Amino acid sequence: MSLRPDLAIIAAHVPRGARVLDVGCGDGELMAALRDECGVDARGLEIDPANVAAAVGRGLSVIQGDADTDLAGYPDGSFDYAILSQTLQTARAPDRVLDELLRIGRHAFVSFPNFAHWRVRLSLLWGGRMPVTRLLPERWYDTPNIHHLTIDDFRAHLAERAVTVDGAWFLSGDKRTGGAAANMMAEHAVFLLRRNKPR
């Protein structure tokens, strides 16, 4: 399977036969891999109609909708895993999307580009310009990424919201990098999360 590295990590950690919702599933690349190689019952939500058509063309069940507004219709705990890959930073209310994700899925995978990667820092520090990098290729006015975040921002947010981290993977290119220096060294991050059970 030649999945994007963050998707490959997710695919490697979803158990066989799980029920999965992929929020922002694009053309269904991950869903198709999960279905074909892991026997996963995958469903998708995707905002772009051309992507939805492509995913339906792969025989996948994908609903055209917006993560910001259309997650409310899914019942609590209706999926084993809810996945949000490279979509958090494009949401109007990413904190609410994350809450919805943890409500719908018993577990949630979240992946996002790390805005504190050293290349981004250098670009801003020395160039004084909003960074345009491999993972963040759009310029400031046409980027869909409207809520940039860093790995440390996300960790702090999880701590505030009492979310349990069951796994975290950090990537620089397609290579893994350690957790301690991740905020500086990782281009993007994948977290496996779970809502703390209320006592």
Partner 1 sequence: MLTTPSSLDQRFGLSRRVVLPGPLRLDGGALLAPVEIAYETYGSLAPGGGNAMLVCHALTGDQHVASAHPRTGKPGWWQRMVGPGKPIDTDRFFVICANVLGSCMGSSGPASIDPVTGRPYGMSFPVITIRDMVRAQALLLDHLGVGQLAAVVGGSMGGMQALSWAATFPERVAACLMIASTARHSAQNIAFHEVGRQAVMADPNWRGGDYYDGDPPAAGLAVARMAAHITYLSEAGLTEKFGRRLQAREQKSFGFDADFQVESYLRHQGLAFTDRFDANSYLYITRALDYFDLAEEHGGLLANAFRGTATRFCLVSFDTDWLYPTSESRAVVHALMAGGAAASFVELSSPYGHDAFLLESPELDRVVSGFLGTGR
Residue numbers 20-59 binding partner 1 by CB under 8 A: 41, 43, 49-50, 52-59
Q: Is 61 in the site for partner 1 (CB under 8 A)?
A: yes
Q: Is 67 in the site for partner 1 (CB under 8 A)?
A: no
Give the contacts of 56 (CB within 8 A, at least 6 positions apart).
62
Q: Is 77 in the site for partner 1 (CB under 8 A)?
A: no
C-beta of residue 83 within 8 angstroms of C-beta of residue 10 = yes
Could you tell me the smallest distance in angstroms from the CB atom of residue 44 to partner 1? 9
Q: Is 69 in the site for partner 1 (CB under 8 A)?
A: no
Nearer to partner 1, 62 or 88 (CB): 62
Amino acid at 82: A
# residues near partner 1 by CB under 8 A: 22
CA distance 27 to 160: 34
119 SS3 class:
helix
Question: What count of other Cβ atoms lies within 10 Å of the Cβ of residue 15?
Answer: 12
Residues within the interface to partner 1 (CB under 8 A): 41, 43, 49-50, 52-65, 73-75, 78
